[in-house]
Structure 1
């Protein structure tokens, strides 16, 4: 490294020498250089000489002398004055016209003036007495130039620099920093034998550096030191966030929590959060008047400045309140033993005792879960019908009477089920009750009292319309039985138009009766002579809907009955009757159709009417035959089915013809 520095320095000197053969005896040397005693000093020097013949010269001898011509430097050390021996060195190559001199170490007496003399074999010799150089001894060290930003940010990459001028390039000053980081050294040549040394520090400040000095120390050859520093201003996010509050507060009082932090710049805002992260308040003071038990829990404070955020540790807010014995506390018995469980909420946790048959007993078992204390008593029943639970803490006390259960038959028998189910699906009914002892079995009955199932769960897969109806559940224990209220099981299914639907006519009027079974009940319409007509009359009997149409006959020989509900639709063609003797008289019925007494009466009336018409027609036929027998004419009769004059197209129905 040193050899490279000297090479650059000598090149610098050489380019300032006039390289012509006719050059006179000239020299370039500063009149004065500054030096630090104990360090070294370099006198930069370059010269020139005349060479009329232009021949290549050898045998150069360069020397330095003082004002009295005493030799300060000579290649032959024996000719050098004793006080200068081993301290002066010609670092330039006189063959290249470089006469630079180094004095190391520099002494106070080395002030000069000095001049350079050159002797050239087979040419000439010359002393540059008019171009002397003096050395000024530095009584004070050169000032240090220090640079760093006014404010730095924690964690970021920051830079600082420290520089100083000196006169000893072979042994430049050594820089030391009091902060960790990466230091890069740089050097630059100045004028008059001076150099500039510089150290650039790359570092990462922390909050611990805030208001602490960043120091640069310069140590020169010879041992002298000089230092300078600047106080760092480090910006950092809030740390040491803390909450001041009372450790415990009574229910109904006011609690105040105060948040503070260490930060630069100071925190500009504060926020409060509960343990789930929900924001509760803004501001460094959080005041809760009339505090209640529901305020108990953990929370924390967040301090914020322009650099970032910092959180406090979780703070437990303890609200103190007297015991409250919960309604779910209970007693149960088995034989002569009683077991009571008393559940108490309080803060601090309560002591729980029991009074049984005038005896005060501690809890057999105690469990504590934060603000809840569960006291359990197991003891002989004695003659008492109740147990008294006592709870107390520093805030107060409470008591409640727990009655011992008596044996009773099941009550509050109830059935859970879906209100409606589609035909083909599965329905599940579940029965439960309140009883002591608990119900040991369950039974299911329909409305007629027929038993359907045993077990608290009644499951009906692939349910059908025939399952519709009412049922109930019976719960049974050793004391007795209890029944649920009647439950209506609704099975939903699409319309089915019954085969007993019919049409009749009187003159130009037609009367059609369309009987539909479905759940829920259906809407019933008719198509007559291409007209869609609503029912003239509608009767609904549970799952049966009877739609009646009365209208002019028109030109059609049939009527289309349409039925639809939420589960689907159906249609059937009802042919109008023709004038002929009754044939194929029949009665149709479906055992699955639930027909009540009113419907049965309707069917009987229809059958009687049809029978009467049949008798009248038979009588009329007999009269006609008799008359024709007298006239000698052969009787003829025929029946034919009337076809519809026009097809009625209804995209949502697939027509099914039925002759009645």
Structure 2
């Protein structure tokens, strides 16, 4: 009897140490919580490890399922007839299960507001073993609207000096990354994407341009188009420092009478008229009031207002 017991113990130890697949030691690395933009897609990074004998890709079957009723609540299966009706055609396994990384990454497309999970990965090797990683599932926070992009710029640009603007936004749909467009100078922009962490990606557009005086106090908008027809945008105001010199110049002269409308005659290039203006009342001669409009640049604005107050007839 003792000998039989000893042989049983030896046999069990042999099975633990040499079985090619043993479910108790399988491990999965799945991001536990992610944001998912409704109508877009979400890609869940996933990998698993098995210290046993390596299996070819053709022998490994990957399945994603809801945490409850795992045999019937399947959201991804290589045989689409096993997939829940409202997930058919919307899920895809992006990874290679037989690769050294054992990549089990999942894509869910056309995200719906009820796709919040939790969802878990399961491995099946027919006639060998199967294992569900129910301790490593993913849940989603549903986002009805995308997040707004951010624009990074310097406070003041110099006229005629090369400058740049950076617009970026994060997302969780790398298989269909967002596209970025600018309201001005769009042909000068370059777009790039990079992986941050935990299934979060960043897409950025770098816009390079040479500002002119006409760009001062204008607005520029960065627009993001997400997969699934979702959009967001951000706007920034440009401040351009003029390199032309003078801080105050007389721009216009006006002859005005009580019986006629004002007629303005330019004494300077019209391109600078978008700066702040002050009206200064001059002398009354031959039935006409002589008025001048002066351009003031922001550093002298308060000084000019105090020194040259407006006055009505």
Whether TM exceeds 0.5 here: the answer is yes
How much has 1:204 moved relative to structure 2? 2.0
How much has 1:210 moved relative to structure 2? 1.4
How much has 1:55 moved relative to structure 2? 6.0
Partner of 2:117: 112
Partner of 2:159: 154
Partner of 1:40: 41
Partner of 1:78: 81
Higher helix share: 2
Structure 2 residue runs of 5 or longer lacking an equivalent are: 1-19, 255-266, 277-294, 298-313
Structure 1 residue runs of 5 or longer lacking an equivalent are: 1-19, 247-258, 267-302, 306-660
Which structure has the bigger radius of gyration? 1
Rounded to whole Å, the distance in 2 between the matches of 1:153 and 1:34 is: 40
**Aligned residues of 1:238 and 1:263 also touching (Cα < 8 A):** no
**Aligned residues of 1:144 and 1:162 also touching (Cα < 8 A):** yes
Rounded to whole Å, the distance in 2 between the matches of 1:211 and 1:148 is: 14
Select the residue among 226, 229, 232 that pairs with 2:235.
229
Q: What pairs with 1:491-506 in structure 2 (closer than 5 Å)?
A: none
Rounded to whole Å, the distance in 1 between the matches of 2:126 and 2:184 is: 58
Tell me: CA distance 1:61–1:155, structure 2 relative to 1, closer, same or farther (3 Å). same
Q: What pairs with 1:482-521 in structure 2 (closer than 5 Å)?
A: none
Tell me: CA distance 1:152–1:111, structure 2 relative to 1, closer, same or farther (3 Å). same
Tell me: CA distance 1:36–1:179, structure 2 relative to 1, closer, same or farther (3 Å). same
The TM-score with structure 2 as length reference comes to: 0.68
Matched, 1:196 2:197: no
Rounded to whole Å, the distance in 2 between the matches of 1:260 and 1:120 is: 83
**Aligned residues of 1:218 and 1:227 also touching (Cα < 8 A):** yes
Per-residue Cα deviation, 1:455-491 (whole angstroms, up to 9, x for no partner): xxxxxxxxxxxxxxxxxxxxxxxxxxxxxxxxxxxxx
Rounded to whole Å, the distance in 1 between the matches of 2:205 and 2:139 is: 30
Partner SS for 1:94? coil
Rounded to whole Å, the distance in 1 between the matches of 2:80 and 2:127 is: 23
Per-residue Cα deviation, 1:608-635 (whole angstroms, up to 9, x for no partner): xxxxxxxxxxxxxxxxxxxxxxxxxxxx
Select the residue among 209, 222, 225 that pairs with 1:219.
225
Partner of 1:335: none
Alignment coverage as a number of residue pairs = 236
Rounded to whole Å, the distance in 1 between the matches of 2:126 and 2:162 is: 62
Tell me: CA distance 1:264–1:50, structure 2 relative to 1, closer, same or farther (3 Å). same
Segments of 4+ in structure 1 off by > 4 A? Answer: 20-23, 55-58, 238-246, 263-266
Rounded to whole Å, the distance in 2 between the matches of 1:144 and 1:244 is: 42
Partner of 1:64: 64
Higher strand share: 1
How much has 1:82 moved relative to structure 2? 1.0
Rounded to whole Å, the distance in 1 between the matches of 2:199 and 2:183 is: 31
Higher relative contact order, chain-length normalized (CA < 8 Å, sep 6+): 2
How much has 1:124 moved relative to structure 2? 1.1
Rounded to whole Å, the distance in 2 between the matches of 1:43 and 1:174 is: 21
How much has 1:260 moved relative to structure 2? 6.8
Matched, 1:100 2:105: yes
**Aligned residues of 2:178 and 2:225 also touching (Cα < 8 A):** yes
Rounded to whole Å, the distance in 2 between the matches of 1:244 and 1:169 is: 56
Per-residue Cα deviation, 1:55-79 (whole angstroms, up to 9, x for no partner): 6545110010112221110000111
RMSD: 3.1
Select the residue among 107, 112, 135 that pairs with 2:140.
135
How much has 1:184 moved relative to structure 2? 0.8
Partner SS for 2:98? helix
Partner of 2:211: 205
Q: What pairs with 1:146-185 in structure 2 (closer than 5 Å)?
A: 146-180=151-185, 181-185=187-191
